Amino acid sequence: MKEAVTAKKTPAKDAAGPSPSRMIDGRIKELGDWRGEMLARIRGLIKDADPEVVEEWKWRGVPVWEHDGIICTGETYKAVVKMTFAKGAALADPAGLFNSSLDGNVRRAIDIREGEKINEKALKALIRAAVELNASKAKKKPAKRSA
């Protein structure tokens, strides 16, 4: 019984398979084109903006970056690499990076096409803002009382 509890708390890197970071490495290598390069670049910017970010692999193959909740995902499609910010609608975007999923009440996304430049400074600021928003929501959650 104790093994099952331990397995749930341990990141998937042992008997359950490769770690989420290795899965993301694999996706980047498997793409082998501009999308893999862009995903790797985005990943680096996320890690630069938040060195404490946690990488996850969810929904049957989507890289996810978390810190006190989901910051964003990194989906790859034929024509775009999409960064979807879980709480993007609540973030200020003075540089106008969000260009997709603009009608929703919660999410916002950035579609990056082949050859497009990334405003790295603005993207890092957006990532940091998402981390701050997650942290503020995490602090407001009431502590669970034990019986």
Interatomic CA distance for residues 117 and 23, integer angstroms: 26
Question: What is the predicted pLDDT for the residue at 5?
Answer: 36
Please check whether residue 147 lies inside any domain of the structure.
Answer: no
Decide if 4 is inside a domain.
no
Q: If 0-12 CB within 10 Å is exposed, 13-18 middle and 19+ buried, where does residue 24 land?
A: buried
Higher pLDDT: 25 or 137? It is 25
78-98 pLDDT tens trace: 999 999 999 999 999 999 999
Residue 113 belongs to what domain range? 17-130
53 Cβ contact list (under 8 Å, min separation 6): 46, 47, 65, 66, 67, 71, 131
Number of domain units in the chain:
1
Residue 76 within a domain: yes
| Residue at 9 is within a domain | no
Assigned domain for 32 exists: yes
Q: Average pLDDT of the chain?
A: 88
Within 10 angstroms of residue 11's Cβ, the number of other Cβ atoms is 13
Question: pLDDT value at position 142?
Answer: 62
- 2 lies in some domain: no
In a domain, 72, yes or no: yes
Residue 61, number of CB atoms within 10 A of its CB = 11
Classify residue 141: in a domain, yes or no. no
Across residues 106-118, what is the average pLDDT?
Answer: 97
Helix axes 34-49, 20-31, angle to 10 degrees: 150
CATH, residue 109: 3.90.1150.200
